[in-house]
Structure 1
Amino acid sequence: MTLIHGFELLREQDIPELNTHARLFRHAKTGAELLSLENDDENKSFGVAFSTPPADSTGVPHIMEHSVLCGSRKYPVKEPFVELLKGSLNTFLNAFTGSDKTMYPVASQNVQDFYNLIDVYLDAVFYPRITPQTLEQEGWHYELDDPGEPMTFKGVVFNEMKGAYSDPENVLGRFTQQALFPDTPYGHDSGGDPAVIPDLTYEQFKMFHDTYYHPSNARIVFWGDDDPDTRLSIVNDYLKDFDRLDTLDVTIPLQPRFAEPRSVTLPYDAGEDGAEGRKAYLTVNWILADNSDTETTFALEILSHILLGTPASPLRKALIESGLGEDITGGGVDTDLRELTFSVGLKGIAPDGAGAVEALILDTLADLAGNGLDRETVEASLNTIEFSLRERNTGSFPRGVLAFVQTLSTWSYGGDPLEPLAFEGPLSAIKARLDADPRLFEGLIRTYLLDNTHRVTLLLTPDETLRAQQDDAERARLDAVRAAMSDEDVQRIIAETEALRLAQETPDSPEALATIPMLTLDDLDRDNKLIPIETLARHDTRVFYHDIFTNGIVYLDLGMNLYALPAEDLPYVRLFGRALLEMSTETQDYVRLAQRIGRTTGGIHPSILTSTVHPTREGTAWLFLRGKATTDKADELLAILHDVLLTVKLDNRERFRQIVLEEKARQEAKLAPAGHMVVYGRLKSHFHEADWASEQMQGLDYLFSLRTLADRIDADWPGVLARLEGIRARLVRRAAMVANVTLDAGAWSAFEPALDGFLAGLPQEEVDLARWTPARSATNEGLIIPAQVNYVGKGANLYAQGHSFDGSLLVVNDYLQSTWLWEKVRVQGGAYGGFSAFDRNTGTFVFLSYRDPNLLDTLDIYDATGDYLRKLDLNDDELTKAIIGTIGQLDAYQLPDAKGYTSLIRTLAGDTDERRQQMRDQILSTTPADFKRFADLLDEVRTHGQVVVLGGQNAIEEANTARAGWLDVRKVL
């Protein structure tokens, strides 16, 4: 057997659809498997994964994921992960805990940076310093400062999961999995149930790592253009000191099938006095099949898209048009577990309507299986999925990290890791089967859904007493533990609390920090990477063209100037954008329109852009229809855009009502999982017109408007319709539009005449731009939702206080997030995240926290930030890290469509290449004096800043009482 750096080659093959050569290795000494994916992607990726099936719901896999990144043998600092965040050019740096596996992926365009990241991660997973204090910080601990005070639970994951359990849809997904898989590890919560997390002992915690974080249980993936042999050498240096572990069994057993369907009803937290008006969630859920057969998996994924993937999909359409609920819930097919599942239902239903929803789902499936699926719907779904597979547009998510995750869907269970990547074979086989049997998908409905008795119907109902029950149970548990303690035990808990706090506050030594590998400023490009752009004028419309290779795809962004509308129309903009694509045209109903889009394009979707224009500080706001198609279908893309802009019929009241209710449900659903972004948008809206407009179109003000509009549709439909028609008349005019095209030059020469003809066919009326008068509030806000945690924000407009921009501000802001805020808000405060954000266009600076158990204490941390900077003794290495980290964000990797759209945004915002180069020069020239200068700016935030808090009723009301009614309190949900 020939070994290459300790590895034996098991097999190799080309994957033409990914332009990749794959080689699968096994480490001879340990049995670790390594997949080397070799291609020309400069955004190199690496990942190491371990099978980590949970035996209970203490969340030990999740806590371990956090903990191994808290210092290791080779890198004995408190947070190597954070040190990398500070000073790396990474394009991805994170870790995930799944239901049965834990993954550690990284990515970078710089090869030395890439190897640095890999080295830190491999040392972290194989040689972590997981002490009792690590569990206390990242998992849970008793916190007590004085014998006379009540004892509490603290811990990062403990509070993260309290936030997760405050989100009904998150709870719905967790309960669904547990109900479908009661007899396997999937019946436990690998993330951790807050009521169970404190059962985890340090001995169990340590044993979990000893058991599962071994090379014999490791699967490793490389992707990109780095040297293939170096990959093996790097990993062998870590594996060679281990021996094979033959006793480890990580097999996930198959769930024994139910003899008959089951029904489960469970409560969710509706908040105090919150059950009235809150509605229920219902899903019908199945286990489908073992995921070992890739062709079956592909077929079921296509079926899921056929049934649910677009507004015109038959099962989705039946549910939405029933009026039984507000929006779809359940994600269709899920391929993340050993066995595939399917879930579908409605949210926003009456609790007594569960039977009707369940019956509708089953009856609709029976009708589709019996009477057949629309052939055009099937064709559209096949084209949509095939386009997505070939384009492989992962957005800001590195393609190599996606490949890593995809391989694990089979590899983790003993399957072939290449099967999920090599899609041509199974896709061709499915097409051939469909040609031979046009009722292929009807048969899948019958086999995997209708005739499948392993089905669970889950009803989640609002309960206004659940929070009190949970709080009382937690308090009773803590009181019982406290009552059983001796005086010596109490003093021990106080001492441990103080010791943990001291460890958290004690900085790493310079010697320890010096072990973290880092680049130098000489490794950085001095000049920005430019995106090609050409500005043209066609029939009163500005056209921006970007000559970028797109592999045969045309990306077209068609924008409409929202300043053509009066301010009172802004809450309708997002709805109007959806209506253009989800309502009937003169020649096609919305089902046929959706099929047409799916059959001939890669998709069209609406998007809103708002920004400040440099140097005027005026606003710019646009509604875009963002479309893409292969170049041979570009004419059809333009034809569809012509039809939806000029011939869409907006007079279908029921269809528009459905869109409004879906939007309302989606806006409400994001409050808990994305509360920090809700707070961020709300705060920014106080300071600038463009951000105020964004709040009207996609923030909390938008949600409030949707609730009013839902009633107005019934009370004054003619008035609503007149407003929609007015919006179309004002926006769909050549002079109020821009077109943004990303395409290589050869294809552009063929597409340009077609685009010219399209623009010539648009209305030519003059455009009068409106002046908006934002109604800004100067009050601090306390916004109540049913939640066990808070999202705390404070911000101010620094430019309004007379300050101006310098690139060094971005360096200081980046440094604050990875030091002061990380340490004080997350590590010591127990929140899942602490952030700050600076908008260089508007001058708005904002502090934010995520899933935060605190409120006033977090605001005190924000207010102390200026003093922290004044006292900061910043050495050269720390400054260099901060500069490198900032440049890394500036040079974030982008796919072709993202490059073109980014260039468009910069152009509309007046962000010239010259201005951006000046900013880069200032970043690279940042000095410690700039940190001191920023402290004075933060004094303005402390003195003049406004506060927005989204969180639980008790926390907000207690804080408001403590500071004598300083918050304007409002119930949001």
Structure 2
Amino acid sequence: MQSFQLVNVHPIPALHARLEQYVEPMTGARHVHLASDQQEMAFLVGFPTVPQASDGRAHILEHLTLCGSEKYPVADPFFAMMRRSTATFMNAMTYADRTIYPFASTDITDFFNLLDVYLDATFFPKLDYLSFRQEGWRHVLKEGRLRYQGVVFNEMKGAFDNPMRALYRGIAANLLPATTYQYDSGGDPLIIPELTHEMLVEFHATHYSPSQAMFMTAGRVDAAAIQSRIVDRVLSRRQERLAPRMPELATPWTQPRETEVRIPSQQTSDNEFGMQLAWRFGESNDATAAARLQLLERGLLGDASAPVLKAMQGAGFGRPSALNGVDDSTRHLMLHLGMAGLTAPQMETAQTVVLEALQAAAEGVPAEVLRAALRDMRFSQRQIVGGGTPDGLARLIRAVPALMNGGDVVSAFDNEQILGRLEQEIAEPAFFSNMVGTLLEHPTRLLARVIPDADYAAKRERVELDRLAMQEARLTEQDRQRILDEDEALSMHRLKGSDYSALPCIRPGDVGTEPSPLPAIRELAPQVRLFEAATNGICYATLVRDLGAIAPDDWPWLDLYADVVEDLGVGTLSYEEASRWRKQQVPAFSVTLDTLQPTGQSSVMPQLKTHVAILEEEQSHAVAVLRAWMSPRFDELDRIAFLVKSQAERILNDLADSGGFYAQLSATAPCSPRRSFSHLTRGLPSLPFTASLRKMSGSPEGRQEIARQLERLHALISACPTRLIWTGAGDLASAAAPSLALEAGSPPAMAPTQTLQGGPAANAALRVASQVNHCHIAWPAPRLGHADAAALAVAAELLTHRSLHRRLREEGGAYGGSAAYSGEDGLFTMNSYRDPRVAGTYADFALSLEELVHTEHDVSAMDEAIISVIKRLDKPLPPRDAALTADRLDQLGIDTTLRREHRRQVLSCTPAQVRDAASRWLSIGRSSRAASVTQADQPLDGMVVVEVASLAR
């Protein structure tokens, strides 16, 4: 059989990388390889998946491919490899028109181990019936009543709680009719039970062919070695060549259309309506057209002075929609412009506001706005991303649509040629005006009136229960017995266990004993630190203020300050002028609030961090921006009122989707000072304050009081100690260091930190209008450096992989469940996510702990748990994150010696140490519990019901 043939090589100097494209001539399988010296090696295989129903077949198939294959006929090879591998990333993702299976690892042996598992899983899955019933859907008899169960079924019930998801799906279904985008590829829980096992098997046969496959890799691994493995494992056995499969294109319209989209509502207030305009354009694989549309978006929405954003923010009602902007996730390019936070009568007025702003924008925007936008696009290509997905893998994922839809793959990785062309185009004065004119005249435009529905979840629940009641009425005794027999077979299937010896693994002896290196600290000037790193020509500056002098009574205001200060005017510049000036100076700017808990103390140090990122050739601009935002304006009361009201309404209108977050903070706050700070500032105690802010923002007196409090707080912040952290190329940063001291002089003495008492353990059931539950339980635990720290870290992995996965997901039907130990927070937790149960889950938490303490774990279980801890310790960080982590550990007194000793203790951890540590720290009687729950009348294991919506009034 022939091997892959090289068809194109493209060097990318900005990334220190080389893009190679290959094709296998017999099947047409494609391989794209981004060769670089990045530590993490990445792989994904993707398939076009274009369902014509909302029964979740693409999503459920994604789950089933991970439930055993020909070569690895175990129940859960994917989850088994998560604990047998040093992978820094493992996942599978279903989009509206594609499914991808990505992983990344820093170890070459582990990389090829995972490659074998992924190839066999995707091309030769077992797809057995019982796994379909577990992962997809099935009938169960719960206390004698007919009910649905299934991992994907429950996952999607949780997904349907998200208002933004409902809005996007509603618009896509109407803007892209008669295409795969009309359907919900994740699956609508009301339609998922229509899917049969036979339909799913047929979908795999028609969509997971080598001729449809997209193989993509990145990093310091040889493309030929990967191709040899693909040929040997897959193409030598499957050589069919199917016609290319792509998502359909929608038919052009001759005139705009209108629709209504209903979204879930928690507050039932009169200002939860919205108006959304959406345009559909040509194919998203046209990289130049996509770049032009991004320029249009930035000209319309890029900063507070941009015409459409300015009009929406200055309308005197509502706020810009979170959906606004370019959408290139489908085969068509789309643009969204809309407003949220409206009353019903304001929907028509909001449409007028946006359309009139577009008419004004047709006069053009300043040339420097478009030049800054091009600079930002160049910055985005260079930036090494974080956020949990390795940089190389993130670039592969972004390029999948171009490869799938026949676009220019090179442009997905290297847009320099396109940017050069656009630099010439924007020199034409009419460039932007012409784009706006085309937008105004474009017939394929949808007006969506967004209608809040407080009964959204309840109505769906009633439809489900009514269907079940009709089915139950028709059940015969034989039907009931079949359901019981199937449930018993599934239980036996889970309990019989699997022989994992066929699966490859990495053992503790295969990993190094030294901790992963962090950037070295160089003191360039008083309170200025340099962390040298390869950043693809980007420099990062973070200004840190230690806020130990800020009293706890001011912490809610401190959180508000961090949320709004970056959008205020500065010095003599109004907020519009400041926003435009900053956008021209730097591509990235943000303000965040963090906390530090000094080692050996039950106290926290709040920290305000101002982050700037800039191309290194313009690094002096970073200094100017940081200096400017030392003098924010608090006299623009209407601006402050708008920002405060918008932030408050976003929080209060998103209670259902945030229920799990509030439950997590409620459970952990009594156990950890850092979590207690987050609970006070962003958890349940903050909701009355947020509601009061929304009310205050509506009156002149309230606005003045908000501004007064923020200005008072700013004076306190300005007197706090200041440090600057600089990440980038050493020579350039060393030259800039003196100016980066920001003329602050010597900082004042460190102010005392604030002690937070643990408080009583929580025992709360937080009721929100949701369709699924989220359960959390927590304990205070020793911090890093304690003799039990390593054993508790291993215990968390044993619980996750050996007990909670089986009890909560496979048997309980939750989307997921895990345990975690945080050495920095001094915290041990267990949780479930998108869970149909509450009391049963807490019973399983207790059983899992009992099993942990009384089980003699074998060598294999311990090895897997140890490897799982090590890979978390070794996960590479993007440059700025690595620098901030190094600085943070230095402040905490966690040096290389301590990290080395902790690693040694993890690698040598014994079952007895795990049992002893768990017995000392993880007593159910000392736990703190909180859950986000759907109904107060379900079994809650004695937890006290709290109506979350009542706190927000």
Task: Identify whether the pair has TM-score above 0.5, normalized to the shorter chain.
Answer: yes
Matches within 5 A, 1:364-379: 364-369=357-362, 371-379=363-371
Instruction: Using the TM superposition, give the Cα deviation of residue 909 of structure 1 relative to its aligned residue in structure 2, in angstroms.
Output: 2.8
Superposed CA deviations along residues 157-199 of structure 1, whole A, max 9, x for unmatched, are 1111111111111111111111111111111111101110000
- Conservation of the 8 A alpha-carbon contact between 1:50 and 1:102: yes
Instruction: Using the TM superposition, give the Cα deviation of residue 419 of structure 1 relative to its aligned residue in structure 2, in angstroms.
Output: 2.6
Code of the residue aligned with 1:726 in structure 2: it is R
Instruction: Using the TM superposition, give the Cα deviation of residue 209 of structure 1 relative to its aligned residue in structure 2, in angstroms.
Output: 0.8
Code of the residue aligned with 1:583 in structure 2: it is L
Instruction: Using the TM superposition, give the Cα deviation of residue 969 of structure 1 relative to its aligned residue in structure 2, in angstroms.
Output: 4.3
Question: Are residue 440 (structure 1) and residue 428 (structure 2) matched?
Answer: no
Give distance in 2, aligned partners of 1:742 and 1:892.
19
- Residue of structure 2 aligned with 1:679, choices 663, 682, 689: 663
Question: Are residue 710 (structure 1) and residue 703 (structure 2) matched?
Answer: no
Code of the residue aligned with 1:210 in structure 2: it is A
Superposed CA deviations along residues 414-454 of structure 1, whole A, max 9, x for unmatched, are 2332231121111111111111x13322222221x211121
- Conservation of the 8 A alpha-carbon contact between 1:805 and 1:843: no
- Residue of structure 2 aligned with 1:726, choices 712, 715, 737: 712
Question: Are residue 161 (structure 1) and residue 147 (structure 2) matched?
Answer: no
- Residue of structure 2 aligned with 1:896, choices 863, 870, 879: 879
- Residue of structure 1 aligned with 2:220, choices 225, 245, 263: 225
Matches within 5 A, 1:210-289: 210-248=205-243, 250-270=245-265, 275-276=268-269, 279-289=272-282
Give distance in 2, aligned partners of 1:335 and 1:285.
13
Code of the residue aligned with 2:729 in structure 1: it is D
- Residue of structure 2 aligned with 1:736, choices 717, 721, 743: 721
Instruction: Using the TM superposition, give the Cα deviation of residue 56 of structure 1 relative to its aligned residue in structure 2, in angstroms.
Output: 0.5
- Conservation of the 8 A alpha-carbon contact between 2:597 and 2:674: yes
Corresponding position of 1:520? 507
Superposed CA deviations along residues 345-384 of structure 1, whole A, max 9, x for unmatched, are 2222212321111221112112101x22233332332222
Question: Are residue 328 (structure 1) and residue 321 (structure 2) matched?
Answer: yes
Corresponding position of 2:589? 604
- Conservation of the 8 A alpha-carbon contact between 2:263 and 2:451: yes
Give distance in 2, aligned partners of 1:496 and 1:231.
41
Give distance in 2, aligned partners of 1:767 and 1:231.
55
SS of the equivalent of 1:830 reads coil
- Conservation of the 8 A alpha-carbon contact between 2:522 and 2:530: yes
Corresponding position of 1:848? 831
Give distance in 1, aligned partners of 2:4 and 2:828.
51
Code of the residue aligned with 2:878 in structure 1: it is L
Superposed CA deviations along residues 776-797 of structure 1, whole A, max 9, x for unmatched, are 4544222222210111111121
- Conservation of the 8 A alpha-carbon contact between 1:383 and 1:600: no
Superposed CA deviations along residues 724-770 of structure 1, whole A, max 9, x for unmatched, are 1221111113x52222222333223201111235333x9x7777546
- Conservation of the 8 A alpha-carbon contact between 2:264 and 2:456: yes
Give distance in 2, aligned partners of 1:34 and 1:351.
51
- Residue of structure 1 aligned with 2:810, choices 806, 813, 827: 827
- Conservation of the 8 A alpha-carbon contact between 2:821 and 2:828: yes
CA distance 1:948–1:321, change in 2 (3 Å):
farther
- Conservation of the 8 A alpha-carbon contact between 2:669 and 2:758: no
CA distance 1:468–1:673, change in 2 (3 Å):
closer
* Structure 1 residue runs without a partner (length 5+): none
Give distance in 2, aligned partners of 1:121 and 1:384.
36
- Residue of structure 2 aligned with 1:577, choices 557, 562, 573: 562
- Residue of structure 2 aligned with 1:879, choices 819, 840, 862: 862
Code of the residue aligned with 2:502 in structure 1: it is T
Code of the residue aligned with 2:581 in structure 1: it is R
Question: Are residue 465 (structure 1) and residue 455 (structure 2) matched?
Answer: yes
SS of the equivalent of 1:469 reads helix
Corresponding position of 2:931? 949
- Residue of structure 2 aligned with 1:316, choices 306, 309, 313: 309
CA distance 1:937–1:261, change in 2 (3 Å):
farther
Instruction: Using the TM superposition, give the Cα deviation of residue 932 of structure 1 relative to its aligned residue in structure 2, in angstroms.
Output: 1.8
- Conservation of the 8 A alpha-carbon contact between 1:798 and 1:937: no
CA distance 1:407–1:124, change in 2 (3 Å):
same
CA distance 1:958–1:193, change in 2 (3 Å):
same
Instruction: Using the TM superposition, give the Cα deviation of residue 39 of structure 1 relative to its aligned residue in structure 2, in angstroms.
Output: 1.9
Corresponding position of 2:334? 341
Code of the residue aligned with 2:492 in structure 1: it is L
The ranges of structure 1 where at least 4 consecutive aligned residues each deviate by more than 6 angstroms after the TM superposition are: 764-767
Matches within 5 A, 1:497-576: 497-508=487-498, 512-534=499-521, 536=523, 542-576=527-561
Give distance in 2, aligned partners of 1:80 and 1:278.
48
Question: Are residue 416 (structure 1) and residue 399 (structure 2) matched?
Answer: no
Corresponding position of 2:799? 816
CA distance 1:499–1:221, change in 2 (3 Å):
same
CA distance 1:900–1:262, change in 2 (3 Å):
same
- Conservation of the 8 A alpha-carbon contact between 1:47 and 1:103: yes
SS of the equivalent of 1:605 reads strand
- Conservation of the 8 A alpha-carbon contact between 1:866 and 1:934: no
- Residue of structure 1 aligned with 2:69, choices 66, 69, 72: 72
Give distance in 2, aligned partners of 1:670 and 1:814.
32
- Conservation of the 8 A alpha-carbon contact between 1:137 and 1:156: yes
Code of the residue aligned with 2:580 in structure 1: it is Q
SS of the equivalent of 1:700 reads coil
- Decide which moves more: 25-34 or 196-205: 25-34
- Conservation of the 8 A alpha-carbon contact between 1:553 and 1:631: yes
SS of the equivalent of 1:527 reads coil
CA distance 1:281–1:751, change in 2 (3 Å):
same
- Conservation of the 8 A alpha-carbon contact between 2:598 and 2:892: yes
Give distance in 1, aligned partners of 2:762 and 2:357.
50
SS of the equivalent of 1:175 reads helix
Code of the residue aligned with 2:201 in structure 1: it is K
* Structure 2 residue runs without a partner (length 5+): none
- Decide which moves more: 691-700 or 101-110: 691-700
CA distance 1:276–1:897, change in 2 (3 Å):
closer
Instruction: Using the TM superposition, give the Cα deviation of residue 772 of structure 1 relative to its aligned residue in structure 2, in angstroms.
Output: 5.4
- Conservation of the 8 A alpha-carbon contact between 1:579 and 1:650: no
- Conservation of the 8 A alpha-carbon contact between 2:673 and 2:758: no
- Conservation of the 8 A alpha-carbon contact between 1:566 and 1:770: no
How many residues align? The count is 948
- Conservation of the 8 A alpha-carbon contact between 2:602 and 2:755: no
* Cα-Cα RMSD: 2.4
CA distance 1:203–1:485, change in 2 (3 Å):
same
SS of the equivalent of 1:529 reads coil
Give distance in 2, aligned partners of 1:473 and 1:550.
53
Code of the residue aligned with 1:947 in structure 2: it is R
Corresponding position of 1:397? 389
- Residue of structure 1 aligned with 2:898, choices 891, 905, 915: 915
Give distance in 2, aligned partners of 1:244 and 1:445.
49
Give distance in 1, aligned partners of 2:601 and 2:518.
24
Give distance in 1, aligned partners of 2:298 and 2:155.
32
- Conservation of the 8 A alpha-carbon contact between 2:525 and 2:737: no
- Conservation of the 8 A alpha-carbon contact between 1:814 and 1:882: yes
| Percent identity (aligned) | 26
- Conservation of the 8 A alpha-carbon contact between 1:47 and 1:105: yes
Give distance in 2, aligned partners of 1:916 and 1:668.
42
- Conservation of the 8 A alpha-carbon contact between 1:29 and 1:240: no
Code of the residue aligned with 2:620 in structure 1: it is D
CA distance 1:556–1:939, change in 2 (3 Å):
closer
Code of the residue aligned with 1:534 in structure 2: it is I
Corresponding position of 2:38? 41
Q: What TM-score do the two structures reach when normalised by structure 2?
A: 0.95
Give distance in 1, aligned partners of 2:491 and 2:304.
52
- Decide which moves more: 566-575 or 662-671: 662-671
Q: What TM-score do the two structures reach when normalised by structure 1?
A: 0.93
- Conservation of the 8 A alpha-carbon contact between 1:610 and 1:691: no
CA distance 1:65–1:611, change in 2 (3 Å):
same
- Conservation of the 8 A alpha-carbon contact between 2:272 and 2:653: no
